[in-house]
Amino acid sequence: MQQEDQHLERWTVLCVDAPPLSPLSLVTDPGSDMFGSESSLSLFLNTLTPKFYVALTGTSSLISGLILIFEWWYFRKYGTSFIEQVSVSHLRPLLGGVDHSSPNSSSSSDGDTDSSRQTVSECKVWRNPLNLFRGAEYNRYTWVTGREPLTYYDMNLSAQDHQTFFTCDSDHLRPADAIMQKAWRERNPQARITAAHEALDLEDCATAYILLAEEEATTIVEAEKLFKQALKIGESCYRRSQQLQHHGAQYEAQHRRDTNVLVYIKRRLAMCSRKLGRTREAVKMMRDLMKEFPLLSMFNIHENLLESLLELQNYADVQAVLAKYDDISLPKSATICYTAALLKARAVSDKFSPEAASRRGLSTAEMNAVEAIHRAVEFNPHVPKYLLEMKSLILPPEHILKRGDSEAIAYTFFHLQHWKRVEGALNLLHCTWEGTFRMIPYPLEKGHLFYPYPVCTETADRELLPTVFHEVSVYPKKELPFFILFTAGLCSFTAMLALLTHQFPELMGVFAKAFLSTLFAPLSFIMEKVESILPSSLWHQLTRI
């Protein structure tokens, strides 16, 4: 005990009489006896008590925790990291870089901003305007692959549509219509086809020909022949019911049914012409149909017209159709938004270069194109992966969910060729589409130009799409920035060190000394080499300066 007291007194005198030491003096004072020696470094480290290590790690943990809390709050409010924002906005321009990923951070004064106030109830399923023919296209896929391209839910919705469009309460008065009323409710495809033939055995029936054209015909040519037969009967029924429509509720219902049948037949005939390569004929039929029945918007014939005009590369007429239907009072669709983006991208995509844009910035036309792409991606964020062929396509379903994966598949299935035809359009989309998610407020459901993204789309898409061989696309979630992840890791690490240092101060002191010794070892080695090369007098004069 007496020896320990003597040792403590000697150590106290040494600490009091000796000049104060600092890590800097150990490095910069070559004249000192302690420079470059392991004993001097260990002597300095021995002066640090365990309380110092506890205070150091605790303070570091506190500071990193405060930074993490601020970064998280800023990210929740503005959707980006504060450190990243400062580095991109202030440091990068000083270094000569230009951020072109988000060319216009301010909200564009588009008419769709008013729609962000709209309250969206449940996800509404729409009939696909470009749905394929079951017999000539969907069944052919089943014969080749052995897979069912349509889900039961999708086909059940189609059965409900057929009952709504093609039947009325007075069908029991006509034997053929009574048979077809039961046929539309049949689940077995062969039973429906058999019932249609039974109805035709009794009398000519337009809806029976429709069913056979949709489900029994194995080619588009056969389907077109059956639709032409249905057209003759449908037109006569329409003219007859048109004369009697004001004679009572029963005749009014018949006229509404006959109108639906006639519009459906003409629309499908136009689609047959489009599939058989007679695109100009299809465009004329669609225009005439839209003029004759302007109020029947439930079939969305203008989307068929847009696709046909794009095939003809008649971009002026495409712009005219968009000017009429891309209106705030009308519901949007992927066809409307992405076609508008394609037209604006077409003006600049052939000469667009990401490197040139980063050097000189975006021109006005390029800015408009990028904004149009951002608008389209915000409406339906699933489309770009299909257009860029990052995700494989499947046959589109008969029903789609707007802003969902089903709509993205239906749009890309028919419009991918139009994007490929425009030089550089896909390159511009590839360079800019992900910037959309940096512009949308966080959480992503708040929206930017459109009403909030529906949270039920994933569930509905899983019902509409065959999940057996297709992975349903989920709305892209905004990933946490690197600086938040780094700060979280740093905070966790320093908090763990503080806890361990508080519990085991002596052991952590040993580890800290070993770490610092290892850290300063290369620097000490370099300084020794420098001292051995340079004359001592010169080195002494330099250190004094």
Residue 443: pLDDT over 60? no
Q: Supply the pLDDT for residue 88.
A: 55
Question: What does DSSP assign to residue 399?
Answer: E
Pairwise pLDDT comparison (193 vs 70), residue with the higher score: 193
Task: Give domain status of residue 387, yes or no.
Answer: yes
Residue 397: pLDDT over 90? yes
Domain-terminating residue out of 289, 312, 335: 312
Task: Give domain status of residue 113, yes or no.
Answer: no
- One domain for residues 145 and 294: yes
- One domain for residues 323 and 308: no
Pairwise pLDDT comparison (258 vs 94), residue with the higher score: 258
Q: What is the dihedral of CA 47, 50, 53, 57, to 10 degrees?
A: -170
**Low-confidence winner among 4-8, 99-103, 193-197, 240-244 (lowest mean pLDDT):** 99-103
What is the sign, positive or negative, of the torsion defined by CA atoms of 225, 231, 232, 233? positive
Q: Categorize the per-residue pLDDT at 169 as very low, low, confident or very high, splitting at 50, 70 and 90.
A: confident
Candidates 374, 378, 396; CA nearest to 307 is 396
Residue 107: pLDDT over 60? no
- One domain for residues 131 and 279: yes
- One domain for residues 284 and 358: no
Distance (Å, whole) CA 377 – CA 290? 29
- One domain for residues 276 and 193: yes
Q: Supply the pLDDT for residue 41.
A: 54
Q: Supply the pLDDT for residue 266.
A: 93
Composition of the chain by helix, strand, coil, percent to 5: 70, 0, 30
- One domain for residues 389 and 333: yes
| Mean pLDDT value of segment 283-289 | 92
What is the CB neighbour count within 10 angstroms for residue 371?
A: 20
> Whose structure tokens read 């640090």?
48
Q: What is the pLDDT of residues 142-152, one digit of tens each?
A: 998 888 999 99
**Low-confidence winner among 163-177, 211-225, 393-407 (lowest mean pLDDT):** 163-177
Q: Supply the pLDDT for residue 320.
A: 92
Task: Give domain status of residue 204, yes or no.
Answer: yes
- One domain for residues 271 and 345: no
Distance (Å, whole) CA 231 – CA 374? 43
Distance (Å, whole) CA 57 – CA 501? 8
Q: Categorize the per-residue pLDDT at 35 as very low, low, confident or very high, splitting at 50, 70 and 90.
A: very low
- One domain for residues 271 and 356: no
- Domain total in the chain: 2
Distance (Å, whole) CA 335 – CA 396? 14
**Low-confidence winner among 97-111, 122-136, 321-335, 370-384 (lowest mean pLDDT):** 97-111
What is the sign, positive or negative, of the torsion defined by CA atoms of 84, 89, 95, 101? positive
Q: Supply the pLDDT for residue 488.
A: 76
Q: What is the pLDDT of residues 44-95, one digit of tens each?
A: 556 666 667 677 777 777 787 787 787 777 766 665 667 766 665 555 555 5
- One domain for residues 272 and 378: no
Task: Give domain status of residue 265, yes or no.
Answer: yes
- In the chain, what percentage of residues exceed pLDDT 70? 75
Domain-terminating residue out of 265, 280, 312: 312
Distance (Å, whole) CA 403 – CA 332? 9
Question: What does DSSP assign to residue 145?
Answer: H
Task: Give domain status of residue 255, yes or no.
Answer: yes
Domain-terminating residue out of 470, 491, 512: 491
Residue 209: pLDDT over 50? yes
- One domain for residues 303 and 368: no
Q: Supply the pLDDT for residue 115.
A: 40
Per-residue CA distances from 398 to 153, 157, 192, 441 (Å)? 10, 9, 18, 33
Task: Give domain status of residue 278, yes or no.
Answer: yes
Pairwise pLDDT comparison (483 vs 35), residue with the higher score: 483
Distance (Å, whole) CA 261 – CA 227? 11
Strand 125-127 and strand 399-401: the pairing is antiparallel
Task: Give domain status of residue 261, yes or no.
Answer: yes
Distance (Å, whole) CA 5 – CA 541? 43
Domain ranges, residue 262 = 121-312
Task: Give domain status of residue 223, yes or no.
Answer: yes
- One domain for residues 322 and 456: yes
Q: Supply the pLDDT for residue 43.
A: 63
Write down the mean pLDDT value for the chain.
78
Candidates 326, 285, 425, 390; CA nearest to 110 is 326
- Work out the angle at residue 336's Cα, subtended by the Cα atoms of residues 331 and 342, and round it to the nearest 5 degrees: 160
Distance (Å, whole) CA 196 – CA 185? 12
| Mean pLDDT value of segment 178-199 | 90
- One domain for residues 282 and 349: no
Q: What is the pLDDT of residues 408-420, one digit of tens each?
A: 999 999 999 999 9
